[in-house]
Amino acid sequence: MPDDPVRSGRRSRGATAIVVPAVSSEAVRPKDGSPPRGDRPGCSRCGRPTYDPDKRGMQWVRAVSGGAQVLICPECRRDRPDWADGLDRCGACGGTRLSAMLGEVVCRACGHTERA
């Protein structure tokens, strides 16, 4: 194989520039085929877009439903007594404070880990 000036770190006269292919900036579509939910995530109960609530008010809840990370808005938590129905629960402690990441569901209460 001839000496490659790019790999050896040397430059020579008349060497051609390396062309890097363009990176697509299109939105990534989920593998399950579900349509994108817009630019911002929203409440899994009512669809309300995310926003920063008052620091003294109720905050958004991060949970897992069907193995996927979801958000619950403060209004649904306040107005719907059944807001936690349908959320996944920890197999060890029964808690709903779960996070889905890298194909696993981790309980934020006890640390138990399961496959998503």
Residue 110 lies in a domain: yes
Q: 73 Cβ partners below 8 Å, 6+ apart?
A: 42, 43, 45, 46, 48, 50, 60
Tens of pLDDT, residues 71-94: 999 999 999 999 999 999 999 999
Q: What is the pLDDT of residue 100?
A: 92
Structural domain boundaries, residue 99: 44-50+58-116
Contact 107, 98 (CB under 8 A): yes
Q: How confident is the model at residue 53 (pLDDT cuts 50, 70, 90)?
A: confident
Q: What is the pLDDT of residue 15?
A: 60
Residue 10 lies in a domain: no
Residue 68 lies in a domain: yes
| Beta-ladder partners of 101 | 104
> Whole-angstrom Cα distance, residue 47 to residue 87?
16
Q: What's the one-letter identity of residue 98?
A: L
Q: Is pLDDT above 80 for 22?
A: no
Tens of pLDDT, residues 32-41: 554 455 556 8
> Whole-angstrom Cα distance, residue 22 to residue 116?
33
> Whole-angstrom Cα distance, residue 100 to residue 45?
18
Residue 65, H or E segment: strand 61-65
The count of C-alpha atoms lying within 13 angstroms of the C-alpha of 105, restricted to the half-sphere facing its C-beta, is: 22
Q: What is the pLDDT of residue 60?
A: 93
Residue 18 lies in a domain: no
Residue 16 lies in a domain: no
Question: Into how many domains does the chain fold?
Answer: 1
